[in-house]
Structure 1
Amino acid sequence: MKLGVAIVAVSGLVWATTACSSGPTETETAAQQFADALTQRNAQAAAALTSDPAAASAAITQLFDGLAPQDATFTVASTDSDKGTFTLAADWTLGAAPTTAATSAGPAPTTAPTTTPSPQPPEKWNYTTTGGGQVVADGGKIPWDAQLLAPGLTADTTLRYTTLSGGSPKVLADNGSPLMAEQTVTLVNVDPAKTPDPAATAGALAPLLTPVAPTVTAASLQSDITGAQGKTVTTITLRDADVAPIAERLAAVPGVTLVKQTRLLTVDKATSSPALDGLRELWQQGQDASAGWAVQLVHADGSADKVVGRDGTAAPDIASTLDPAVQTAAQAAIATLPQQAAVVAIRPSTGALLAVAQNDPANAQGPIALTGLYPPGSTFKTVTTSAALQQGSVTPDTVLPCPGTANIEGRTIPNDDKFDLGAVPLHTAFARSCNTTMGQLAVAMPPTALHDAALQFGLGVDYVTPGLTTVTGSVPAADTPAERVESAIGQGQVTASPFGMAMVAASIARGSTPLPMLVAGKPGVANATPTPAPAVVTEQLRTMMRETVTAGTATQLADIPDLRGKTGTAEFGDNTSAHGWFVGVDGDVAFAVFVAGANSSAPAVDAAGRFLRPIQPVLPR
């Protein structure tokens, strides 16, 4: 944007020149040196050319600090040696340069990180100023005037660049209710330099903060203060409702200051999900893209006038697919488990993420619900059974042996507690989770059979989804019969995330793999689109999953009408511990429940019951 402002030169004596010289005049030399020093952001060198180096250095330093430009170029537009004046042309490029956003903690994502844009394209601010006039006797210094730097600048004013929001959009739940909104928070800061007795300050703060944040103690606060190495530390960030009753008492504690900020927060304080991080990033990107900007002239009293800029526009609300009732139920189902636990729920008909929940132990490890990779254990028998049925060598009614243990390709495969069913139909072996049956089925499969069948259910497919960083899992080709035996029961090199197993359940329910979606109308893009499993096979799987609930390993959930599922226990590490899984379909909800180190599927099955029973009246069917 061109701002054609010229500062009229102070009248005075002509700069001394040598009439017969063919080189640059003193005016031209001084002007060029001044312009070059400003372009190089060398405040000291530029200031040394003026009649008041101290004032000039302070003003130039503040100018660049306040505008924080990507680039700034000063050129000499013209000189008048007779009058001793010169005109500078300033060309500023303002606004933050684009940066690559960091991904959340956890396993390396398979999707590329997003780029957070700067507020619109870089802003341009161009203007001219005129300086010069009477020469100071000692060396021909440029008479100092703050308006040499920018139009309207004085000794008592400063300039700053700022972004202008066009409004504060909300993040909405799937029912249109606000899920997140920008709110005021208060940072409770402690300055160690103003805290003569850290123990006393911690002791005074703890009883005020513990009712709001039970994990905050006098010991943890004292550790934070002493560990800050003299720097101000934020002990906690409080919402308005939490800080209001204790604000005066907090402010009275030695060394404590209360600082207000605005942040995008969940409307319901209890709502927590790793999916919210992606929604916050999208919200910020919308704010950045719609933001305006201004260069402001700031007066000594703090008031400011806009010199140049553009108003922001209102960014649209973000319509998420998260269902508050389903999310709340998922959180509550795993909240009290001592192990890391996660629940992911997807609507098979659309791919909409209804809930992504983790408990506190899981949150400490990062977004394991979306990117954590673990052996899926017997939940992978959905894939193994699909592969066997597609080969045509068995049907659900084919009678197969289910011994308590079996030596298959040199690997001793036991059933859970070595139960022995004798010879049973495949559907019974599936419902009762016979490892020995599944291992024997896999021996005769081609090396890529399980890999290909997994892809049909979205496991091993990568998705680039707005607001989500996800990993589904990995099912490598099993070149040897022994490797296929391990893979068949969800062990060996097979891994899956809770999100990945929820996608498997959604694919079985739908008959094809849906594209995951966190923002309404913006489904993910898959890096592969395998042909779905035959419809007859997925229907047979749904029937067997129903039998798992009515007469198999998940009968404790038999009271939930039409629930279909598959339990899973997966050894890890030195095989002395095991993760617990349950994946299922209830109406138009497919889900996976994961409990790390549970040593059986029972905690995951119980959590599934706590998740599903409260929301039966509102579950999409």
Structure 2
Amino acid sequence: MRTTTRMLALFAVPALTVTGCGLFTDETTEKMTDVANSFADALNADDPAAAGAVTTDPPRAADTIGTLYEGLGKDAHFEVTGVDKDAGTFTLDATWKFGKDGHNEWKYTTTGKVDDTGDGWKVGWDAATVAPGLDAGPLTYSAVYPEASRVLASDGELMTQQVVTVVNVSPGADLAAVANLIGPISPGITAPSLQSDLTAVQGKPITAITLRETDIAPIETQLAALANVTLSPQTRLLTVEKELASPTLAGLAQLWQSDADAAAGWAVRAQTAQGTQRLAGRDPEPTTDIRTTLDLGWQRAAESALAPITQPATIVAIAPSTGNVVAMAQNSAADTQGPIALTGLYPPGSTFKTVTVSAALQAGTVTPDSIVACPGSANIEGRVIPNDNNFELGNVPLHTAFARSCNTTMGRLAVDLPPEALTDAAAQLGLGIDYVTPGLTTVTGSVPAADTPALRVEEGIGQGKVTASPFGMAMVAASLAHGSAPNPTLVAGQPGTPDRTPPALPATIADQVKTMMRETITDGTATQIRDIPGLLGKTGTAEFIDDTHAHGWFVGISGDLAFAVFVHDANSSGPAVEAAGRMLRAR
């Protein structure tokens, strides 16, 4: 009995040992897998503390992983793809996504160790397990841009990437000293204005000014020596000529940045004690210069022409033969209201009479030589329409009434037109058409159908519900000169696309309207600029608010240049006409 029992025991021990070895193997693999997956899950949850907690060095691991997220972001996925119980290791696959929409990817595979530390199974901390090169130093991601392209005018450089210096001021700085140095460059910056800015941000640093190299050079040493003043060099796209300004520049800068972003490569780098080590990335692609249709000579002339005007004022000039935007200028008062040359909508006043006579001529109700009445005022369908200062001409040819800008004549012509006539005639001249134009965001205007006689009277003289932007009225002038609406173009070779194509303007109509516009210069409301050879034009005064204020307009054609001048609240067309003269005489 004793022997039998012993023999059974001898057989039982090996059987338990085999079973025990089998259980040991399964538990080890399972525990290694569990801890590796816990590590990966914590990384996927962007939780450095949780990831560190399952390692052999929690504080160091959490700190390193937290710094990694700061340098690379958190758009990453980690997955355990294998466990080797014999080697005590696991395999970790990772994918990081960078940039807009995560289109830049960094994929890699690493190996980590798992140990039974006596205090449970742990991932042996090694920064290289999380990312290659992380053991050498912190990792950073950055876009790698190609050599900066230029933005060119048709006759020279318009914008280039340049170094600027950002002047930051912190509480405790000698504000009087700062203002004394930068005030001559920007007179609006004073010690009280700087203090006000600091107070508004509750003690945080402020950016006092950003200076070009030529501006910072004479004062850089003095600024750098001031306590609590820091100078930060950066690169920015700037106009080559400091004084040059245009509402087109913002759109061109966006286009330039978009091109640079599309061409950019990327890099992940380790910041090591020996320097920067690139771990992954893609080289940038080359970019080409952006060639615009702007003419620097005309642009300077337009800006100079607006300089004496204190009210917001703009000039838009287009080459009718091509649709090329030649110049687009605003004065500083206009800049405070935004890109009004492109998108500001105002009643166009008598400049809209170019549309009214076009519609009337196409309707066949009149010819340029038709005798029409031009009383000082007229009651038309219950709407009393006066001429400027109630001037009257009696019965005169239509071309004379147009040149002298008879409201009473135009109101009478408009009331007899069909409701859609002005809308259609305006569209033939590009007004009311929306264009998608690379580098430009524009609105031409709106000419709603006039379904009542009173509204037709108002719209016939550019009031009522009619609105136009300076760009839109420049398109009207360009369309008359061209014979149809040209597609506006700012980036050479990339014309704008209209949302619809209206019927063509009959050639005879365009010629007849242009003849009347010539008479406006020689014997009409713009004789102060009749010294400019061959100039065609139309003046406009557009009432707004309570009819006690009026905008001033002038649209003109001079050779292959069509343009619109707008002066806000000018009370007459005079300032716009004078600005046109200054621009044209400067070339």
Q: TM-score range by the shorter chain?
A: over 0.9
- Ranges in structure 2 where 5+ consecutive residues have no aligned partner: 1-20
In structure 2, the CA distance between the partners of 1:20 and 1:289, relative to structure 1 (3 Å rule), is: closer
SS in 2 for 1:129: strand
Question: Pick from 41, 51, 54: which aligns with 2:46?
Answer: 41
| Equivalent-residue separation in structure 1 for 2:22 and 2:461 (angstroms) | 93
- Alpha-carbon distance change, 479 to 505 in structure 1, aligned in 2, over 3 angstroms: same
How far the C-alpha of 1:180 sits from its partner, in A, is 0.4
1:293-335 CA distance string (max 9 Å, x none): 111111146x211111111122000001110010111111112
Contact 1:292 1:309 (8 Å CA) reproduced: yes
Whole-angstrom CA distance in 2 between matches of 1:20 and 1:593:
87
Match of 1:291? 264
**Residue 134 (structure 1) shift:** 4.1
Structure 1 unaligned spans of 5+: 1-15, 98-120, 616-621
**1:245 aligned onto 2:250:** no
Aligned amino acid, residue 185 of structure 1: V
TM-score (ref. length: structure 2) = 0.94
Name the aligned partner's letter for residue 579 of structure 1.
Answer: H
C-alpha RMSD over aligned residues: 1.5
**1:18: Cα distance to partner?**
5.3
Matching residue within 141, 150, 154 for 1:161:
141
Aligned to 1:3: none
Is the counterpart of residue 184 in structure 1 residue 163 in structure 2?
Answer: yes
Is the radius of gyration larger for structure 1 or structure 2?
A: 2
Q: For 1:482 and 1:525, how far apart are their aligned partners in 2?
A: 34
Higher normalized helix content (fraction of residues)? 2
8 Å CA contact 1:282–1:467 kept in 2: the answer is yes
Amino acid corresponding to residue 162 of structure 2 in structure 1 = Q
Give, as a single letter, the amino acid of the residue that structure 2 aligns with 1:516.
P
Distance 1:556 1:376 in 2: 21
Shift of 1:202: 2.4
For 1:595 and 1:131, how far apart are their aligned partners in 2?
Answer: 72
Corresponding position of 1:459: 431
Amino acid at match of 1:50: T
1:53-452 correspondence runs (5 A):
53-68=58-73, 71-97=75-101, 122-154=103-135, 157-175=137-155, 177-192=156-171, 195=172, 201-300=174-273, 303-452=275-424
Structure 1 length-normalised TM: 0.89
What letter corresponds to residue 544 of structure 1 in structure 2? M
CA contact (8 A) 2:552 2:566 kept: yes
- Distance in 2, matches of 1:423 and 1:181, equals 59
Is contact 1:136–1:143 with CA below 8 Å preserved after alignment?
no
AA of the residue aligned to 1:94: F
CA distance in structure 2 between the aligned counterparts of 1:271 and 1:17, rounded to whole angstroms = 82
CA distance in 1, matches of 2:197, 2:99: 35
1:24 Cα offset (Å): 5.5
Following the alignment from structure 1 to structure 2, what is the Cα–Cα distance between the partners of residues 476 and 300? 70
In the alignment, the residues of structure 2 paired with residue 216 and residue 389 of structure 1 have an alpha-carbon distance, to the nearest angstrom, of 57
The superposition leaves residues 489-535 of structure 1 with CA deviations (integer Å, 9 ceiling, x where unpaired) of 00000000000000000000010100000000000000111122210
Q: CA deviation at 1:164?
A: 1.1
Per-residue deviation, residues 511-561 of structure 1 (Å, max 9, x unmatched): 010000000000000011112221011001111100000100000000000
Counterpart secondary structure, 2:80: strand
The answer on whether the counterparts of 2:268 and 2:280 sit within 8 Å (CA) in structure 1 is: yes
Shift of 1:22: 6.4
One-letter amino acid matched to 1:428: T
Distance 1:395 1:405 in 2: 23
Name the stretch that deviates more: 210-219 or 265-274.
210-219
Distance in 1 (alpha carbons) for counterparts of 2:406 and 2:227: 66
In structure 1, the residue matched to 2:529 is 557
State the 1:145 CA deviation.
1.0
Q: Distance in 2 between matches of 1:473 and 1:575?
A: 21
Aligned length: 567
Q: Which residue of 1 aligns with 2:24?
A: 19
| Aligned residue number for residue 10 of structure 2 | none
Equivalent residue for 2:493? 521
Contact persistence 2:36–2:114 (CA under 8 A): no
Letter paired with 1:344: V
- Give the C-alpha shift of residue 83 in structure 1: 3.1
Distance in 2 separating the partners of 1:135 and 1:211? 71
How far does residue 244 in structure 1 lie from its aligned partner after superposition? 0.6
What secondary structure does 1:64 align onto? helix
Give the aligned residue type for 1:244: A
CA deviation after TM superposition for structure 1 residue 139, in Å: 2.5
Q: In the alignment, residue 264 of structure 2 is paired with which amino acid?
A: A
Deviations 1:335-360 (A, max 9, x none): 23111111000000000101111111
